[in-house]
Amino acid sequence: MKNNQYSLADIEAAVSAGVLDRAAYVTLAQFLTSHAPEAIETEKFTLFRGMNDIFLALGITVLSIGWFILWGLYSNDAVFWIAPLVAMAGFVVLAEYVAGKLKATLPSIVIMVSLCATLMIYAVMLYMRMVGTSAEFFNLDDVWSFGSTSVNTALLVAIIGFAFQVGFFLRYRLPVSFALIAFGIVGVLWSLLLTAFGQSLNQYLDYMITLTGLLLLALGVVVDTKDPKRVNGWAECAFWLYVIGAPMTIHSVAALFDAAALVMIPVIIIAMLFSLFLDRRSPIISGLIYVGYLANSGFNQAAIDPTITVALVCFVVGGLVMAFGFGWQKARHIVLSPFEDQNWRRYLPPS
């Protein structure tokens, strides 16, 4: 059965394909917008469309587990080298149908992870052969041991994984690819730094997490501005960058300063304004965790019974979450109304 639910993005695609005239599209879009009910949810993302997506994802997951178990049983012989190529070809065929034709997000994630993992492990095997150590391994356990102790291997794996995720997105245009692209950015940057400075860099781990998180947030803003009305898919790509970048930034800042109130209160306020300006809830969700932490500290200093403290913290955090949930658009309008005439306002979602 065909899906008969269409969005403005689908209609715009019809214009690009020459099926619909641009003027007719504008008129239709204005009509649909004027008759549409008030949007309750402006930050949408799709992991699955129904039980069939979950069903497919489960099946592909089980197949993938079976493949890695089987690969682990092989020793360093011809089958050990040929089987991964066959498996990767199979994953590509699956990806073409599931991600390319069905556009099923959740099963595509499983394929993406399984194919990427197979590719990265195989790359380590090839690297071991190039450096003349392939005779030293007998099975996947030995490959894993080598990869986990070599900084150069970590960098190689990170670059290949990142390139694969970018390629997967360019091929199938699935927004969820940006989640793994974000992890790929983190992996490449950290691997480069570890290669350059060695293990001494571990003492600056929180700083690295903060800077990487800020980079992902900045990239999220850039991607988000390509789709302020959230109709062409870029906004959903940006969603995943915020989901990963926001907690990385806020939690690492909290770790650096032991979640001190003088630091966390401004951070929470900045996260709140950032969220409202961009119509993104991920930063404020990360910040609200520390609202609970600060409230808990305050109640403890007031010598309130610990059991009551837990309940009070739940009331505070839960109340704030509900307040933002019910009054989100109103709060955005209040915050953004002074800037309606600014040129940069057109890059932000309407309030």
What is the domain extent for residue 117? 50-174
> Phi-psi region for residue 110, left (φ > 0), alpha (ψ -120 to 50) or beta?
alpha
The candidate with the shortest Cα–Cα distance to 248, out of 207, 191, 200, is 207
d(CA 317, CA 289): 8
Domain boundary among 122, 153, 174: 174
In the chain, the amino acid numbered 132 is: G
Asked if residue 142 and residue 58 are part of one domain, the reply reads yes
Q: Using 50, 70 and 90 to split pLDDT, how confident is the model at 23?
A: confident
Token duo for residue 68: 């890695």
pLDDT in tens, 56-78: 999 999 999 999 999 988 877 78
Please indicate, yes or no, if residue 185 is contained in any of the structural domains. Answer: no
d(CA 128, CA 135): 9
Taking CB atoms within 8 Å and a gap of at least 24, the contacts of 318-321 are 320/288, 320/291, 321/288
Asked if residue 58 and residue 32 are part of one domain, the reply reads no
Please indicate, yes or no, if residue 161 is contained in any of the structural domains. Answer: yes
Q: pLDDT: is 196 or 246 the higher one?
A: 246
pTM: 0.83
Q: For residue 38, is pLDDT > 70?
A: no
Asked if residue 16 and residue 55 are part of one domain, the reply reads no
Please indicate, yes or no, if residue 32 is contained in any of the structural domains. Answer: yes
Please indicate, yes or no, if residue 191 is contained in any of the structural domains. Answer: no
The candidate with the shortest Cα–Cα distance to 335, out of 260, 259, 284, is 284
Asked if residue 81 and residue 29 are part of one domain, the reply reads no
Please indicate, yes or no, if residue 101 is contained in any of the structural domains. Answer: yes
Please indicate, yes or no, if residue 189 is contained in any of the structural domains. Answer: no
Cα angle 91, 97, 101 (rounded to 5 degrees) comes to: 145
The candidate with the shortest Cα–Cα distance to 111, out of 131, 126, 96, 133, is 96
The count of structural domains within the chain is 2
Please indicate, yes or no, if residue 94 is contained in any of the structural domains. Answer: yes
Domain boundary among 174, 198, 225: 174
Q: What is the mean pLDDT of residues 206-221?
A: 94
d(CA 340, CA 335): 10
Asked if residue 149 and residue 72 are part of one domain, the reply reads yes
Token pair 């990963």 is found at 244
Please indicate, yes or no, if residue 99 is contained in any of the structural domains. Answer: yes
Least confident of 113-117, 181-185, 308-312: 308-312
Asked if residue 116 and residue 60 are part of one domain, the reply reads yes
> Phi-psi region for residue 154, left (φ > 0), alpha (ψ -120 to 50) or beta?
alpha
Q: pLDDT: is 12 or 117 the higher one?
A: 117
| Positions of E strands within the chain | none
d(CA 128, CA 105): 34
- For 330, other C-beta atoms within 10 Å of its C-beta total 10
Average of per-residue pLDDT values in the chain: 87
Token duo for residue 54: 């979950």
Percent with pLDDT over 70 in the chain: 93
d(CA 243, CA 285): 10
Asked if residue 57 and residue 9 are part of one domain, the reply reads no
pLDDT of 4 reads 60
